[in-house]
Amino acid sequence: MIKSKFRKSSMVFLGAILGASAIFTSCNEDETPSSTIITEEDAYEVIEGTLIASTYGLTETVEQASTTVAEEAINSRKAPIECDSLYALSFSASKSFPNRSYDYNVEGSYKLNCNSNGESSSFEFENYVTGTYDRTRMSSQDSFESDLIITGLDPSQTNSIINGSYERKGTQQSKVRNERSFSSQVTYTLKDLAIDKSLHEIEGGTAQINVLLTAEGKSKTFSANLTFHGDNTASLEIGDNTYTIDLD
């Protein structure tokens, strides 16, 4: 009887060890580091999608704001629209390119601020945009909003200056590497963007970008710096790496 009890106790002990081992292995399998799921390259491609013209990125919002300034003759010393009055805008934006397309609905508003002499001093432009884009390496369903302040409105100045914020969030489907689906939140702080008043293109300036990506229950944050060069390109610095982005 003593021998039988020993065997029974040994089997119970061995079962406990095997059970603990299985639990430990299972935990290790579940604890995949976020760095192996979400990479810097993913952050780069998400940021690029928030920026370039062919995804209705920041460059298109800047162009729309600058175009509105021109259409309302705000670059003259005394614009024909009323100071401190809020004007609404609403339109659809869609376009197809080779291997790329976008379709967005745009709602927004703008307001002219004037000095004590009734002369244009600054221009506020806000928008809220929802829609989708599709490109070779990634597709997205997202929304974004921007809050821009434009100065340098005097007709003697070639460029106007934009400061403000731009935030875009949504869900992206990667078509490369592991073809993962992401949720993203990308926030820009814009610093002294120089905008050509005739071409409505970004000639210079910088942006600080913060990115939050989530995939398969894992989240990772990135910080980046963006510099515009005035030749339709920008440099994006993430960590120790620098990427050149064609703004088209």
Alpha helices in the chain (DSSP H): 2-30, 34-37, 40-51, 58-71
Model confidence pLDDT, tens digit, residues 7-40 = 444 444 444 444 444 443 433 444 555 667 899 9
Higher local confidence (pLDDT), 242 or 11: 242
Model confidence pLDDT, tens digit, residues 50-107 = 999 999 999 999 999 999 999 998 887 778 889 999 999 999 999 998 899 999 999 9
Cα–Cα dist 214/78, whole Å: 48
Pairing of the two strands 100-114 and 86-97: antiparallel
pLDDT surpassing 80 at residue 5: no
Q: pTM of the entire structure? A: 0.85
The tally of CA atoms less than 13 A away on the side-chain side of residue 123 is 33
